[in-house]
């Protein structure tokens, strides 16, 4: 997780940075009805599908899958979505599949994390859909903590957890920082946005939001999905037991490229009319901090930089959806499945 992810976590827990203005009484009543419909449609026994979007991730994917397979008793299926990889990504998946039939390979030809994520979510058959990156190493109780949480808390649509670093010179101090800040918070905390490298959502909630998420590749798809849920009254929790480690390779992104990465975050919040001064201050501070430590990080690191998950321009032909009010079109019907 990079500085931006930490910034997003702070913004997510700050009501003033993510407040929703202008919702009519009828829209609020509609969101309450939607949430009730989803709760009524919950499966009696939850099953967990894991989706891993991947583009040229042969260097990290094997360890990611092996960590998941250590928890296979709690996992229904693992779906890796190959997004036009030119390396051995697909071969690694097929190798694991020969030994573990629960591992599945899905091909998505349209380039972009959002398209790979959507393809994986649409293929998932579990009542809960977990979503991580190809460089994520899940904690030993990760899958069980997700199932336990959703079995116990029917009032939440999605969940996330603490994110630590590996493969980085800053792994130890960052872990200490995350543990310190997490210790000061409740075991379960409501947030308005979650990172895609450690995320799980009810399938009924995904089906409800499926036609509302943007297909723009210049937006952060994880923030967009989170805010789509938030705008219609479906809640995201952060729990302490859902821990993962991610590669620190994002910290090696050159400052000019990282600036685009950060601006894409602001663009996503602005797309939902939720970008304010506090968010701008956090993101500016994030860019400055990254620029300052980047030379030393580059000198001390042994891994390579990571490709940006967002494009420099929108490559989607799908027009932006207006999210200033809650509509009732297919939402209730999807959530009742």
* pLDDT tens digits, one per residue of 265-275: 999 999 999 99
Number of structural domains the chain divides into: 1
Look at 51 and 230; give whichever has higher pLDDT.
51
- pLDDT tens-digit readout, 253-263: 999 999 999 99
Give percent of the chain with pLDDT exceeding 90. 75
Work out the pLDDT band at 245, boundaries 50, 70, 90: very high
Work out the pLDDT band at 211, boundaries 50, 70, 90: very high
Work out the pLDDT band at 243, boundaries 50, 70, 90: very high
Q: Which of 186, 202, 209 is nearest to 147 (CA)?
A: 202
Residue 202 has pLDDT above 50, yes or no: yes
pLDDT (mean) for 81-93: 98
Structural domain of 200? 3-311
331 falls within a domain: no
Work out the pLDDT band at 38, boundaries 50, 70, 90: low
Neighbour count for residue 41 (Cβ, 10 Å):
18
The pLDDT score that the predictor gives to residue 73 is: 97
| The Cα angle at residue 121 between residues 222 and 81, in degrees rounded to 5 | 90
The pLDDT score that the predictor gives to residue 18 is: 42
Is residue 291 within 8 Å of 255, Cβ to Cβ?
yes
Give the burial class of 264: count Cβ atoms within 10 A of its Cβ; 0-12 exposed, 13-18 middle, 19 or more buried: buried
285 falls within a domain: yes
337 falls within a domain: no
319 falls within a domain: no
Work out the pLDDT band at 34, boundaries 50, 70, 90: low
Work out the pLDDT band at 1, boundaries 50, 70, 90: very low
Q: Is 23 left (phi over 0), alpha (psi -120 to 50) or beta?
A: beta
329 falls within a domain: no
Positions of E strands within the chain? 48-54, 77-82, 103-107, 128-131, 137-138, 158-160, 163-166, 188-191, 199-202, 236-239, 244-247
Cα gap 229→232, rounded to integer Å: 6
321 falls within a domain: no
Residue 334 has pLDDT above 80, yes or no: no
- pLDDT tens-digit readout, 273-324: 999 999 999 999 999 999 999 999 999 998 888 889 998 876 554 433 333 2
Please tell me the least confidently modeled range out of 101-105, 124-128, 133-137, 300-304: 300-304
- pLDDT tens-digit readout, 40-83: 455 558 999 999 999 999 999 999 999 999 999 999 999 999 99
The pLDDT score that the predictor gives to residue 24 is: 45
Residue 4 has pLDDT above 50, yes or no: no
Cα-based distances in Å from 135 to 56, 234, 288: 11, 28, 25
- pLDDT tens-digit readout, 131-187: 999 999 999 999 999 999 999 999 999 999 999 999 999 999 999 999 999 998 999
Is residue 287 within 8 Å of 30, Cβ to Cβ?
no
Is residue 323 within 8 Å of 229, Cβ to Cβ?
no
39 falls within a domain: yes
Cα gap 54→57, rounded to integer Å: 6
Cα gap 269→228, rounded to integer Å: 11
333 falls within a domain: no
Q: Which two tokens stand for residue 104?
A: 């599945």
- Provide CB contacts within 8 A for 326, sequence distance 6+: 23, 27, 30, 31, 34, 231, 232, 233
Q: Are strands 236-239 and 158-160 parallel, antiparallel or unpaired?
A: parallel
Q: Are strands 128-131 and 48-54 parallel, antiparallel or unpaired?
A: parallel
Sheet strands side by side (includes 137-138)? 137-138, 244-247, 163-166
Write out the DSSP string of 116-174: HHHHHHHH--SSEEEE--TT-EE-TTHHHHHHHHHHH-TT-SEEE--EEEESSTTHHHH
* CATH number of the domain that residue 23 is part of: 3.90.550.10
Cα gap 298→304, rounded to integer Å: 9
Q: What is the pTM of this model?
A: 0.81
Sign (positive or negative) of CA dihedral 314, 121, 166, 163? positive
Give the burial class of 313: count Cβ atoms within 10 A of its Cβ; 0-12 exposed, 13-18 middle, 19 or more buried: exposed
């Amino acid at each position: 997780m990079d500085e931006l992810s930490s910034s997003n976590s702070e913004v997510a827990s700050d009501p003033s940075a993510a407040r929703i203005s202008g919702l009519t009484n009828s829209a609020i009543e509609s969101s309450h009805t939607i949430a009730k419909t989803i709760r009524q449609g919950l499966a009696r026994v939850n099953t967990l599908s894991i989706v891993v979007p991947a583009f040229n991730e042969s260097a990290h994917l094997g360890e990611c899958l092996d960590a998941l397979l250590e928890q296979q008793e709690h996992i229904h299926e693992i779906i890796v979505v190959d997004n036009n990889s030119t390396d051995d990504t697909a071969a690694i998946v097929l190798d694991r599949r020969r030994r573990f039939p629960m591992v599945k390979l899905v091909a998505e030809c349209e380039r972009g994390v959002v398209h790979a994520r959507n393809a994986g979510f649409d293929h998932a058959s579990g009542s809960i859909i977990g979503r991580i990156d190809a460089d994520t190493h899940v904690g030993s109780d990760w899958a069980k903590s997700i199932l336990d949480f959703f079995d116990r808390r029917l009032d939440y649509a999605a969940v996330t957890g603490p994110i630590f670093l590996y493969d980085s010179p800053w792994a130890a101090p960052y872990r200490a920082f995350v543990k310190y800040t997490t210790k000061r918070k409740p075991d379960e905390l409501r947030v308005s946005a979650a990172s895609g490298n450690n995320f799980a959502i009810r399938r009924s909630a995904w089906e409800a939001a499926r036609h509302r998420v943007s297909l723009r590749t210049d937006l952060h798809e994880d923030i967009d999905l989170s805010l789509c849920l938030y705008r219609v009254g479906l809640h995201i929790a952060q729990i302490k037991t859902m821990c993962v480690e991610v590669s620190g390779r994002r910290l090696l992104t050159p400052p000019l490229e990282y600036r685009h990465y950060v601006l894409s975050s602001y663009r996503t919040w602005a797309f939902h009319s939720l970008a304010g001064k506090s968010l701008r201050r956090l993101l500016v501070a994030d860019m400055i901090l990254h620029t300052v430590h980047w030379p030393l990080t580059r000198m001390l690191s042994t891994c390579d930089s990571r490709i940006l998950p967002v494009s420099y321009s929108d490559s989607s032909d799908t027009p932006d959806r207006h999210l200033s009010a809650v509509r009732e079109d297919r939402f209730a019907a999807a959530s009742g499945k």
